[in-house]
Structure 1
Amino acid sequence: MRNILRRMIFFPVLALLGGWSAMGTAQNATSEDTLVLTLDKAIEIALSENPSIKVADKEIVKVDYSRKEAWADLIPSVSASGSYSRNMKKPVMFLPEDMSAGFGGSNKLEIGYDNSYSAGINASVPLFNMSLFRNIQMTEVEMKNALEAARQSRINMISEVEKAYFNCLLANDSYHVLARSLHNAKENFQNTKRLFAHGAAAEYDVIRSEVQVRNLEPSLTEADNGREVTILMLKILLGLGKDTPIRLTEELASFQILMEEMPQQPFQDISNNPDLKLLDIQKQMIDKQFDMTRAMRFPTLSAFMQFQLQTEANDFEFNQYQWVNPIVAGLQLQIPIFNGFSNRYREKQVEVSKQQLSFQRENVERQISVSLLNAFRAMEAALDKIESAKVAVRQAQRGYDIAQKRYETGAGTLLELNDAEVALTRSRLNLNQARFDFLSARVEYDNILGNNLSASFE
C-alpha cells in the first residue's frame, strides 16, 4: 500500500522540486491569515503573480513600442549640426597663364580664410518609401504574434495550475483515506484488546491488530509529507512564498460536473490551438518579410530642407563677422537599378522559409490531432475506472462491515477483518486515482483545444 501511495503522490512532482531552490523565497508571508484556495482563485493568483505571465505581458509592451517606432519613421526628422575648421594651409586655385599677369605673375591663387564656421538645421520627410510601409505592416503582425504568445502563456499556466491543484487534491484525499484506515485499525485494536480481556480473542490477534496500526502510521506520515510537497509546488506556480499558509476547500469529487459534461466525441476543430495559431501568424510574418524584400525594388522619394549659417575670417573678432544664411529645399529620388541579384536571392530564402513552415505546420497539426484523441480516450478510460471503483468501494465497505460484525461475534477471524480493511482502503485510493486521471486528461484535452476549464481568466 505504501508503494501505491508513493507512486500516486510523489512521482508526479519529484521532477519539479529543483525549481523551488532556484526560485528561493519569491515573497514572504506578510500575514498569518490562511489563504483559502479554490481552483478559480488559484488560477486568478497565478495569472497575476507568476513571472512567466509578467514576462509575456512585457513582451507585448515591447512590441508595441516597436510598432510605434515604425510609425515614427513617417514623421519629419529634424537635426542640427555645426562645424569649425582651421585652414592650416589655405587651398589654392590654379590660373591660366594669360591671367597670371593680373595676379603678380603667379599662376596660383590662395582662396578662403583661416577660420571657417558653419551651422545648420536639416529637415526631411519620406514621401514614398515602400520598404517603410511594409515594415509598418510587419510590426502589426508582430503585435498579433506577441498577443497570441501571451495567450498561449496564460493557457499553459492555467493548465499547469489545474494539474498542480488536482495533484494537491489527490494527496489530500489519499491522506484522508489513510487517516480513516488508521482510525479503523485503532478501533479494531481496542476492540480486540477488550475481547482478549474477556477471553474471546487470542493474544495473537491483539499482537496482529497492533502491528496493523504500527504499519499504517508511517504510511499516514508519508501521505502527510506528500501533501506538503504538492502544496509547495502549487505555491511556486502561484508565485507565493513557501511560508504562506494555504487551505484547499475542494476535493476531487467536487468536480463531478466535469465528468458528467464530458463530450460524446472528441472536438474536431483545433484551429484555436495556440501552437497552430502561432504558426499561422508566423506565416503572415514570412509573407510580410517577402513583401519587405520585394519593396526594395521600388524607388524612394523624400523631401528635404536645409538652413545654414556660414562665415569665414582670419581673426577671432566675432562681432564683426559677416554671416550668410543659404536655404535649400528639394526632392530626392532614388531608383534601384542593379544590385547583383541580392534582392532576388533574399526572396528565394523567404520562399524556402515559407515551405519549411508549411511542412512544420502539417506535422504539428497531425501531432495535435493525435494528442487530442489520446486525451479523449484517457478520459473515457478514466470514466470507466471511476464507475468500477465506485462499485468496488461500495462492495468493499459492505465487506468490511460484515467482516467486522463476524469478528465481534466470534464467527470471523482477524485475518478476514484485516483483508477487508486493506481492500476498502485500496478501493478508495483507486477511486481517487481514477478521478485524478480523468481530471488530468480533461485539463490536457482543454489545453490542446485552447479552451481551458477557466477560460474566463484569459
Structure 2
Amino acid sequence: MRRIGFTFFLLLTGLSLRAQQAWTLQQCIDHALSHNLQVRQSELSVDQNKSQVQQSTATLFPSVNGSASQSYFFGRSIDPFTNVFANQQITNNNFNLNASMSIFEGFQLMNTLRQSKLNYMASRADLDKIRNDIALNVATAYLQVLYNEDLVGVAEGQLESSRQQRDRAKRQYELGAIAQSGYLDLESQFATDDLNLVNARAQLAQSRLSLTQLLELDSVSNFQITRPDVLLPAWDATSASVEVVFNAAMTNQPEIRASEYRYLSAERGLSIARGTRYPRLSVSGNLNTNISSSAQEVTGFLALPPSIVESGFTSGGDTVYSVVPNNVIQTRETPFSKQFEDNLGKSVGFTLSVPIFNGWAARNNVTRARIGLEQARISREQTRKTLYKSVQQAVTDAQAASSRYESGNRSLSALERSFEENRKRFEVGAISTYDFLLVQNNLARARATALQNKYDFLFRLKVLDFYQGKPLSF
C-alpha cells in the first residue's frame, strides 16, 4: 500500500513538474532578468553609485574626530604637569576632540554631490537599457519557438498529405491503374517531406535551446512555452510615422536618459574643476585636556614645634636667633575629574587658502573637464542619431513586413484553390504526377513563407512597440 501511495505521489509530482514547464512570455522575461549576470553586474554598479551619493552628502557636514593617549615615564624625565625634571614614575593621559568644516571651497562639494547624483541616475538608466535588451532578446527567441512549432505543424500536415497520396498511388500501382514511375515519384515526395519534418523539428529544438540559454536554465528537458492567441492587428503600413515613434522613444528609451545624465554630469565636472581656482575658507575647533599622576593639590597644613635658627648678629657681635614656624603642607593626587576640568583647553581657528601657483594643475584640470564635456555632448548626439536611424529602420522593416504578409496571404489563398482543383484532376488522371507534385510543393513553400511572414511582421510590430515603451506581450 505504501509503494502504491509513493508511486502515485511521484506520478503527481512528475505531472506537476511537467505542467510547470509551460512558460509564458512574461515568465520567461522575469526569469531572465532575475538570473542574468549582466543585470546583476549593473545592479552592483547602481549600488556603488548610490553609495557615492551618500558619501558626497556626508562631506557637507563637519568632520569630528577624537583621540586619547596614555604615556608612562620612568627614571629622570620631565613632569608634564610641572614641566620640571622628576625622578619617579609618572602616568600621563591626553584627550583631544577636533572638528573642522569647510565654509567655502569654490562650490566644489555641492557640485560633487550633484555630479554623483547624476552618475547614479545614469547607472540606473544603464540598468534599464540592459533589462530592455534582454526582454527584447527573450521575446525574439520566444517568437522563434512559436514559429518553429507552427513550422513543424505545417511539415507534419504536408507529410500526412504525402502519405495519403503515396498510399493511394501504391494501391493504384498494384491494380495496374498507374505506371510504376508515378508511384515512385510520390514515394520520393513522401521521403522529401519526411526529411523536411526532421529538419523542422531540429530547428525547433535549436530555438528552444537558445531560449533556455537566455533564461539561464540548466536543461531544456520538458521545456515548453504557452501558445498565446497571436492575432495580428489591423495595421496600415502607410500610417507609421518615424517622427511619432522617435519622439516616443526619446521620452522612454533609457539610453537617451543615460546620455543626458552623463552630459549634465560632465557639466558639473567642469564646475568642480573651475572651483580649484577659488580661495578656500575653513573653520576648525579643538578641545583638549591632560591628566598626570604627578599632579598634587593641597589638603591642609600640619603645625609642628617651631624651630629656632640663627638669623644674624647684633652690632656688638652677639648672635640673634629667630623663631621659624615649622608647618608641613599636606597634599594628595589631584582627582581625575578635577584635572580634566582644570586642564581643559579650547581653540577655534579659521584657515584661508589662496591658490597662487600649483604647476598649472587647476588650468589643466579645467581643460580636461572641458574636453570631457565636449565628449559627453558628442556621445549624447550620437546616441540620439543612432536611435533615430534604428527607428527609421524599424518603421521601414515593419512596412515591408506588412506588404510581404499581405502578398503572401493572397498568394497562399490562390495556391490553396489551385491545389484543390489539381488534386481533383490528379485523382481522375487528368494531370501527370509531375504536375501535381509541382503544385503541391509550391503550396508547401507558400505555407512556410506565409508562416515566416506572419511572425516576421509580428516581430516588427513588437519592435515598434518596444521603441514606444509599450509592454512586450501578446
What is the TM-score normalised by the length of structure 2?
0.76
The CA deviation at 1:198 is 2.8
Aligned equivalents of 1:178 and 1:335: distance in 2?
83
Contact 1:47 1:53 in 2 (8 A): yes
CA 47–453 in structure 1, closer or farther in 2 if over 3 Å, else same: farther
CA 303–121 in structure 1, closer or farther in 2 if over 3 Å, else same: same
Match of 1:277 among 227, 241, 257: 257
The CA deviation at 1:341 is 3.0
Partner of 1:288: 268
Aligned equivalents of 2:195 and 2:376: distance in 1?
55
Q: Which moved more, 1:380-389 or 1:266-275?
A: 266-275
Match of 2:354 among 323, 336, 340: 336
Aligned equivalents of 1:384 and 1:87: distance in 2?
97
Partner of 1:454: 471
What secondary structure does 1:257 align onto?
coil
Aligned equivalents of 2:45 and 2:221: distance in 1?
30
Match of 2:394 among 364, 372, 375: 375
Q: Give runs of aligned pairs for residues 81-92 of structure 1, distance below 5 A.
A: 81-84=67-70
Match of 2:204 among 217, 227, 231: 227
Q: Which moved more, 1:74-83 or 1:371-380?
A: 74-83
What secondary structure does 2:250 align onto?
coil
Partner of 2:179: 202
Indicate the RMSD between aligned Cα atoms, in angstroms. 3.2
What secondary structure does 1:250 align onto?
coil
The CA deviation at 1:424 is 1.0
The CA deviation at 1:141 is 1.1
Match of 2:286 among 288, 297, 305: 305
Match of 2:404 among 375, 378, 385: 385
Aligned equivalents of 1:356 and 1:76: distance in 2?
36
What secondary structure does 1:31 align onto?
helix
The CA deviation at 1:180 is 1.3
Contact 1:196 1:203 in 2 (8 A): yes
The CA deviation at 1:426 is 0.6
What secondary structure does 1:256 align onto?
coil
Q: Deviations over 1:66-114 (max 9, x none)?
A: 222222234444433234557799899xxxxxxxxxxxxxxxx969987
Partner of 1:120: 95
Aligned equivalents of 1:30 and 1:308: distance in 2?
75
Aligned equivalents of 1:419 and 1:394: distance in 2?
17
CA 66–179 in structure 1, closer or farther in 2 if over 3 Å, else same: same
Q: Give runs of aligned pairs for residues 94-133 of structure 1, distance below 5 A.
A: 117-126=92-101, 128-129=103-104, 130-133=107-110
The CA deviation at 1:418 is 1.4
What secondary structure does 2:181 align onto?
helix
Aligned equivalents of 2:21 and 2:240: distance in 1?
38
Contact 2:208 2:220 in 1 (8 A): no
The CA deviation at 1:446 is 4.3
The CA deviation at 1:262 is 8.3
The CA deviation at 1:365 is 2.7
What is the TM-score normalised by the length of structure 1?
0.78
The CA deviation at 1:157 is 1.7
Partner of 2:439: 420
What secondary structure does 1:201 align onto?
coil
Which structure exhibits the higher relative contact order, with contacts defined as CA atoms closer than 8 Å and separated by 6 or more residues? 1
Aligned equivalents of 2:226 and 2:387: distance in 1?
34
Aligned equivalents of 1:258 and 1:115: distance in 2?
96
Structure 1 residue 162 corresponds to structure 2 residue 120: no
Structure 1 residue 140 corresponds to structure 2 residue 109: no
What secondary structure does 1:340 align onto?
coil
Aligned equivalents of 2:334 and 2:89: distance in 1?
13
Q: Deviations over 1:332-367 (max 9, x none)?
A: 323233233311221111111112222333333333
Question: Which AA in structure 2 matches 1:271?
Answer: M
Question: Which AA in structure 2 matches 1:164?
Answer: A
Structure 1 residue 256 corresponds to structure 2 residue 232: yes
Contact 1:40 1:454 in 2 (8 A): no
Aligned equivalents of 2:167 and 2:469: distance in 1?
50
Contact 2:404 2:453 in 1 (8 A): yes
Aligned equivalents of 1:362 and 1:240: distance in 2?
39
Contact 2:422 2:431 in 1 (8 A): yes
Structure 1 residue 65 corresponds to structure 2 residue 44: no
The CA deviation at 1:168 is 1.3
CA 227–115 in structure 1, closer or farther in 2 if over 3 Å, else same: farther
Contact 1:75 1:125 in 2 (8 A): no
What secondary structure does 1:195 align onto?
helix
Question: Which AA in structure 1 matches 2:40?
Answer: K
CA 370–332 in structure 1, closer or farther in 2 if over 3 Å, else same: same
Q: Which consecutive residues of structure 2, in runs of 5 or more, have no partner in the other structure?
A: 1-14, 79-83, 296-331
Q: Deviations over 1:428-454 (max 9, x none)?
A: 11112222332343344444x3x3441
The CA deviation at 1:128 is 2.1
Question: How many pairs were matched up?
Answer: 405
Q: Which moved more, 1:301-310 or 1:271-280?
A: 301-310
Partner of 1:265: 241
Contact 1:33 1:245 in 2 (8 A): no
CA 293–322 in structure 1, closer or farther in 2 if over 3 Å, else same: farther
